[in-house]
Amino acid sequence: MLGKTIPVPRLECIYGDAGCDYLYSNSVFLKPLTWTDNLANLRDRITALTGYKFRIVIGNQYRTGTDSIGWHADNEPSMGSNPAIASLSLGGVRKFQIKPRNGKPTDFWLEHGSLLVMHPGCQSTHLHQVPKTNKIVSTRINLTFRPHTGGER
């Protein structure tokens, strides 16, 4: 529901081009802050590396092992069809799992500085998550660079 605060088990923020508002799960509305120099620099370096253009970045902070993100696909219509998503991990190592819808998960241990790229099509065929863990883990920050179809250019 718009205007309602929904708790999520992690901290979130969004930066991006003006007007590139982001609505997910039909309930959470995020309005981007203006790109900082450091984030814009990272965005441009990742575009140079991957060839994909990005207009928003969503930041997640997993403070402890109880912070997480459940199984989902990033298929919000505002990103257009078949988005390419680049995911940069910083800080503590966490398990990232990806699976074909109804298939078996594959585990990746995303280390500080690793860049995971989900190519176009991935969001229609696969789901991904960062599960909770009982292990002691240090804080992790993840930045997902994404396209967006709206806003000002």
Ligand X SMILES: O=C(O)CCC(=O)C(=O)O
Binding site for Fe ion (CB under 5 A): 74
- Least separation in angstroms between residue 48's CB and Fe ion is 23
Q: Coil, strand or helix: which one is 23?
A: strand
The two structure tokens encoding residue 51:
């060839």
Q: Of these, 46, 56, 69, 86, which contacts ligand X (CB under 6 A)? A: 69
Instruction: Provide the H-helix boundaries in the chain.
Output: 37-50, 122-125
Q: Of these, 17, 28, 65, 74, which contacts ligand X (CB under 6 A)? A: 74
- Position 130 contacts ligand X (CB under 6 A): yes
- Least separation in angstroms between residue 44's CB and Fe ion is 22
- Least separation in angstroms between residue 87's CB and ligand X is 5
CB-based contact 55:139 (threshold 8 Å): no
Judged by beta carbon distances under 5 to 8 A according to partner kind, the member of Fe ion, ligand X, none in contact with residue 60 is ligand X
Other Cβ atoms less than 10 A from the Cβ of 101: the count is: 10
CB-based contact 23:4 (threshold 8 Å): no
CA distances from 62 to 29, 106, 113, 131 (A): 20, 21, 16, 11
- Least separation in angstroms between residue 48's CB and ligand X is 22
CB-based contact 149:53 (threshold 8 Å): no
- Position 60 contacts ligand X (CB under 6 A): yes
Q: Of these, 83, 144, 145, 147, which contacts ligand X (CB under 6 A)? A: 144
Using CB under 6 A, count the residues that bind ligand X.
Answer: 11
Question: Which residues of this protein are in contact with ligand X, per CB under 6 A?
Answer: 58, 60, 69, 74, 87, 96, 110, 128, 130, 142, 144
